[in-house]
Amino acid sequence: MRTLIEVFASCSTLLAAALAVIVVSQRRAAHALTKLACTDPLTGLSNRREFMRALDAEISRASRTGRPFAVVLLDVDGLKLINDRYGHRAGDRAIKRVANALRVSRRAMDVAGRIGGDEFAVLLPESDHASAWLFLERMRALLAGHRRAGSIIISAGVAQHPRDGHGVDALIDHADAALYAEKRRHAHAAHITPASMPRIKREGQRSPA
């Protein structure tokens, strides 16, 4: 009888351990799926849905505390031309460089997302217009041209809550209008040359002999 009890106890222990492993695996799988649903696959930043969720939550928080925050919209000038002249891998490389500059420039509390093809957004809690432009200056310094990777030019617009709007749509529209105003100012100053492009062979292009 004692032997049967010991065998039963041993089996119960093994079953409990197996169930624990299954539960942990399921939790990890659920976490991975949740992360995939919230993440842009090319850059690893938040996707549009997750960014808008974070912005809506920040509006609710700021409405309670009365503390300002800023929203930055930015995009890559001339990305279509990069894709047309040098291939989509070069365009993807430019997008990844902007994403990396966002990661390096932001604080732990900031939320950065890719919300369109070449469009990015940044949520800066406890920040005003001036702080947002300091953030952009840091980004632009990182994207400035150097010998190997060349330069990437971005246009940007800033909206501050509640000065420029109270809701998600109002803030996004204000920042978007400011972005396109800056893009028009850049129109005659932006120079896209082979020297400033990522050094990548166009798809189907043969290497020089």
Q: Please state, in angstroms and rounded to a whole number, the distance separating the CA atoms of residues 39 and 16.
A: 34
Q: Is residue 45 within 8 Å of residue 114, measured between CB atoms?
A: yes
Instruction: Exactly one of 118, 164, 169, 173 is catalytic; name it.
Output: 118
Examine the residue annotation and report whether 84 is marked as an active-site residue of this protein. Answer: no
Enumerate the active-site residues: 118
